[in-house]
Chains A and B, each alone.
Chain A
Amino acid sequence: MSLFEIKNCKKNFDGVPVIKDISFKVDEGEVVAIIGSSGSGKTTLLRICTFLEYMNDGEMTYLDKKVVISENGKAKYIGQKNLSIDALKKNKELIKIKNYFGLVFQNFNLFPHWTVLKNVINAPISVEKRNKDEVIEKAMMYLKKMGIENKVNSYPCELSGGQQQRVAIARALCMEPKIIYFDEPTSALDPELTREVLKVIKELANEKRTMVIVTHEMSFARDVADRVIFVDNGVIVEEGNAKEVISNPKMERTKKFLQKYEE
């Protein structure tokens, strides 16, 4: 069953098209890597999937819930009349759908005034109204899995970037999302910290968690992802089995892009 589907997504900023026509699906248990040069629209795409940005036209479905439909060449969000970021923020219907997904940012975006533990448990408790003791137990389990269980009472500023990113992953996991998006989770980190973060993401992949990962780490994408999507200039140029596309791209543009990553 597909957990997520986006169809004919179009997005422009001030009339400049950034996403021209993108469609893809994510099945349960699948790891999808999105690759492409900087400025090709990858972040914008994830922001649309997570309701931080709206699309101008297209369709979007989470499980069986149609979140966006296309009406007269314009995107129509459920429970919302206008197309604006403000309207997205106020849309109560979308809040319910937000518990289907989590997002891990490039620069972590932890809440600096809260301890590691509070960062992880607050949303499940105060947004989802789950039982506090159970949430703490879950949080400890995830923090342990991320290898930072000895930092629960630290503040984000006391952690390395790699540790902060692992807290951010634990925070996303503790919401029990069906699908986790990652936007270049390691590009703010040096190589050593990158390795430790990629390692935990790989473990999540082994557990068959559904993930969509925007990354510049080609060997990681090849090893961990089931499928890869190469985006260029707002369209999908090539997609398919991760090992095949990355080792043996068919399209000229993909080849050119991948050449830059060969040592």
Chain B
Amino acid sequence: MNNITDIIIRVFSGAGASSIIFFSTIIFSLPLGLLITFARMSKLKVLSGFAGFLISVLRGTPLMLQLFMWYYGPFYLFRVSLGLNWRLPAIIIGFSINYAAYFAEIFRSGIEGIPVGQYEAASVLGYTNSQTFIKIIFPQMVKRVIPPVTNEIITLIKDTSLAFAITYTEMFTVAKQIAAAKATIIPLLVAGIFYYIFNYIVAFVMGRIEKSFNYYK
């Protein structure tokens, strides 16, 4: 019994590291995703083409590989050794940029789904392009993207375990270490339960946010 409590506490201590990855990724990838959306939707062919290429590479290669690139890249490219302190920044950069690419595509389809009449009504009323975006398009986009963004966020929770690939000690890594040391599967089950609870909370919160937008269709 004591043994299990001990396992739970130790696995849970790894959850802090997972949460850091999770929340940092959310905070950085959402605005970054919006910037990539702007680039992707730009009338400048060079910019939109570059953004399109970036998105396809980020979505078309494994996240684990991207994490390796961010972590080991500086050493192999520039022969700079950033040491273990570089591990967390590399993870956050890797996750944020990868998720930004997914969010960018979600935002773009959210914006493109807004009827052209909204822009035209705004134009005739004299709103500038930026006012139109901020006051009329963006708020409607937010409502439209909540369900697909929720899906991505739930995937992100599970993806945080990929950080073990560059031996960053988050929840999954801890669970694996204990499991190996004590020859038991229980730590992994405990970790699974934590991931599930975390997901449940996130799904609940996102559901609430989605509902709060139900005041209009």
Contact = CB atoms under 8 A, between A and B. Distances in A.
Interface of A: 50-52, 86, 89-90, 95, 98-99, 101-103, 105, 107, 109-113, 122-123, 126-128, 155-157, 171, 175
**Which of B115, B121, B128 has the most C-beta atoms of chain A within 10 angstroms of its own C-beta?**
B121
Contact of A51 (B123, B131, B217): B123
Nearest to A119: B121
Chain B binding surface SS class: helix
Q: Which 7 A-B pairs have the closest CB atoms?
A: A109-B121, A123-B125, A109-B117, A157-B217, A127-B126, A98-B126, A155-B216
Contacts of A101: 124
Given A90-B129, A112-B140, A113-B143, A103 B117 contact: no
A98 B124 contact: yes
Given A105-B117, A113-B140, A127 B124 contact: no
B59 interface: no
Contact of A112 (B43, B120, B126, B217): B217
Contacts, number: 63
Interface of B: 43, 115, 117-118, 120-129, 131, 135-136, 139-140, 143, 215-217
Given A86-B43, A89-B129, A122-B135, A113 B216 contact: yes
23 contacts: A51-B124, A52-B120, A52-B123, A86-B43, A98-B123, A98-B125, A99-B126, A103-B124, A109-B115, A109-B120, A110-B121, A111-B121, A111-B136, A112-B216, A113-B216, A123-B125, A123-B127, A128-B126, A155-B215, A156-B216, A157-B216, A175-B125, A175-B126
Nearest to A86: B43
Given A156-B216, A157-B216, A109 B118 contact: yes
Contact of A126 (B118, B123, B131): B131
A122 B136 CA distance: 11
Contacts of B125: 98, 123, 127, 171, 175
Given A102-B124, A122-B135, A127-B131, 9 more contacts: A86-B43, A89-B123, A105-B121, A107-B117, A109-B117, A111-B121, A111-B122, A111-B136, A157-B217
Contacts of A123: 125-127
A127 B131 CA distance: 9
Nearest to A89: B129
Nearest to B124: A103
Contacts of B135: 122, 126
Contacts of A128: 126
A157 B120 CA distance: 19
Nearest to A85: B123
A102 B121 CA distance: 9
A167 B188 CA distance: 59
